[in-house]
């Protein structure tokens, strides 16, 4: 979620991250969400949707009216639609957008099955993260998942302002404590990321509503499954590279 003025030297892709990794970061988010059981009939909220880096895959995938994006910079959404999806997608898939700049996730007046906050907490102050998580609680069900990234460091950002461009860092323990404070259980995922960020997934911590299908009861299972999947991908990639080089001899 960017809140600065438009820089004439940056295009809609470069404004949200490295242009050369735009497609890769897009695919990384989509693949993780579908691995975490996202399906076409789910309602998804994309916080700081920007120029639709994730939206370019999520909007066509989800049924009409299921994709919701919140982004203060209107021009980013406009450019994303114009250059990545085409104007006709608005009539076909009916994505819903809001331009609030204070993480007012309840502005959509609905619950979401999945909430995505990619590359948001890597720029946000603790106050802003707490505000976002507090709002997320209002729009989550017992089965909802909140998926986010943050920049992992040895110290915690102590400022009170949004940092962009540039980024801020938090320790894993501190980030999980922020989630816990807002009533969310969380787990760090070992899902790969093209940059330096770490994935974290969370669910409502509400023991009175805990069932076998609740997101809370699935967190530990997801954590181990993602780790096994990642390790399997690495093994398969190494094996494929080995076959490639053997066939090239």
Q: What is the pLDDT of residues 61-105, one digit of tens each?
A: 999 999 999 999 999 999 999 999 999 999 999 999 999 999 999
Q: What's the CA gap between 205 and 59, in Å, rounded?
A: 29
CATH of residue 199: 3.40.50.150
In this predicted structure, the answer to whether residue 174 has a pLDDT above a threshold of 60 is yes
Domain span holding position 70: 14-220
| Domain count across the chain | 1
For residue 228, being part of any structural domain is answered with no
In this predicted structure, the answer to whether residue 235 has a pLDDT above a threshold of 70 is no
Q: How many CB atoms lie within 10 A of CB 144?
A: 23
Instruction: Find the Cα–Cα–Cα–Cα dihedral 193, 76, 139, 110, rounded to 10°.
Output: -140
In this predicted structure, the answer to whether residue 239 has a pLDDT above a threshold of 80 is no
Burial of 21 (0-12, 13-18, 19+ CB in 10 A): middle
Instruction: With cut-offs at 50, 70 and 90, classify the pLDDT of residue 232.
Output: low
Question: What pLDDT, on a 0 to 100 scale, did the predictor assign at position 224?
Answer: 66
- Mean pLDDT of the residues in the chain: 87
Average pLDDT over residues 112-136: 98
Average pLDDT over residues 128-139: 98
For residue 247, being part of any structural domain is answered with no
Question: What pLDDT, on a 0 to 100 scale, did the predictor assign at position 244?
Answer: 46
In this predicted structure, the answer to whether residue 241 has a pLDDT above a threshold of 70 is no
In this predicted structure, the answer to whether residue 245 has a pLDDT above a threshold of 60 is no
Question: What pLDDT, on a 0 to 100 scale, did the predictor assign at position 72?
Answer: 94
Tell how strand 184-189 and strand 197-204 pair up.
antiparallel
In this predicted structure, the answer to whether residue 196 has a pLDDT above a threshold of 90 is no
For residue 226, being part of any structural domain is answered with no
For residue 234, being part of any structural domain is answered with no
Question: What pLDDT, on a 0 to 100 scale, did the predictor assign at position 40?
Answer: 98
Report the residue count for the chain. Answer: 249
For residue 172, being part of any structural domain is answered with yes
C-alpha pair distances (Å), 85 with each of 34, 53, 89, 181: 20, 11, 6, 39
Question: What pLDDT, on a 0 to 100 scale, did the predictor assign at position 79?
Answer: 94
For residue 248, being part of any structural domain is answered with no
In this predicted structure, the answer to whether residue 31 has a pLDDT above a threshold of 80 is yes
For residue 44, being part of any structural domain is answered with yes
């Amino acid at each position: 979620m960017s809140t600065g003025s438009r820089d004439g030297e940056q295009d809609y892709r470069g404004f949200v991250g490295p242009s050369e990794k735009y497609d890769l970061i897009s695919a990384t988010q989509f693949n993780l969400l579908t691995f975490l059981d996202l399906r076409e009939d789910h309602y998804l909220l994309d916080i700081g949707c920007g120029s639709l880096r994730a939206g370019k895959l999520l909007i066509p995938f989800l049924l009409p009216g299921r994709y919701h994006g919140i982004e203060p910079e209107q021009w980013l959404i406009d450019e994303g639609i114009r250059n990545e999806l085409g104007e006709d997608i608005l009539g076909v898939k009916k994505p819903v957008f809001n331009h609030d700049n204070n993480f007012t996730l309840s502005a959509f007046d609905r619950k979401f099955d999945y909430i995505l906050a990619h590359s948001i907490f890597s720029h946000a102050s603790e106050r802003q993260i707490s505000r976002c998580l507090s709002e997320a609680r209002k729009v989550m069900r017992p089965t909802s998942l909140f998926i986010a990234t943050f920049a992992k460091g040895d110290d915690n950002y102590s400022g009170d302002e949004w940092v962009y461009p540039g980024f801020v860092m938090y320790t894993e323990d501190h980030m999980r404590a922020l989630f816990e404070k807002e009533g969310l259980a969380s787990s760090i995922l070992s899902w790969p990321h093209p940059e330096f960020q770490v994935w974290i997934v969370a669910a409502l911590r509400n023991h009175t509503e805990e069932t076998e299908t609740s997101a809370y009861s699935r967190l530990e299972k997801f954590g181990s499954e993602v780790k096994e999947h990642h390790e399997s991908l690495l093994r398969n990639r190494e094996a494929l590279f080995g076959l490639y080089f053997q066939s090239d001899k």
